[in-house]
Amino acid sequence: GNSVTQMEGPVTLSEEAFLTINCTYTATGYPSLFWYVQYPGEGLQLLLKATKADDKGSNKGFEATYRKETTSFHLEKGSVQVSDSAVYFCALSGIQGAQKLVFGQGTRLTINP
């Protein structure tokens, strides 16, 4: 079936460190890929997306590239801030026309000053 596998957390980094959160997917067809973020006490919100192979989504300094050959959508940021502390979810949709999102298990990120 369709699934998303994320890097196990929690991840703890110091401010200004480089961040990578790995995400790989299993799907038939060509899904759209998303990263959602959940800040403490808030609802899930869309961080970035990519809808076809080799697309790069970017927002707030975060980037992720849709890699069809490796079925991956890794999240990266060059210099993290304390305010980036949150839970990050990789997700896919669009399998066989379905709109529903299939989420990974989430990765908790903590940035220390």
Partner 1 sequence: EAGVVQSPRYKIIEKKQPVAFWCNPISGHNTLYWYRQNLGQGPELLIRYENEEAVDDSQLPKDRFSAERLKGVDSTLKIQPAELGDSAVYLCASSREQGVSNSPLHFGNGTRLTVT
- Interface with partner 1 (CB under 8 A), residue from 45, 59, 79, 112: 45
Stretch that binds partner 1, among 16-24, 34-42, 67-75, 77-85 (CB under 8 A): 34-42
Interacting positions 51-90 with partner 1 (CB under 8 A): 51, 89
- Joined together, the tokens standing for residue 46 give 């869309």
1 near partner 1, rule: CB under 8 A:
no
Distance CA(71)–CA(80), nearest Å, equals 25
Q: Please say which residue, 34 or 73, places its beta carbon nearer to partner 1.
A: 34
Q: Smallest distance from the beta carbon of 113 to partner 1, in angstroms? A: 26
SS3 assignment, position 97: helix
H helices of 1-113, in order, are: none
- Interface with partner 1 (CB under 8 A), residue from 44, 65, 71, 72: 44
Per DSSP, 42 falls in state: S
Distance CA(78)–CA(74), nearest Å, equals 13
Q: Please say which residue, 96 or 113, places its beta carbon nearer to partner 1.
A: 96
91 near partner 1, rule: CB under 8 A:
yes
Strand pairing class (11-14; 107-112): parallel
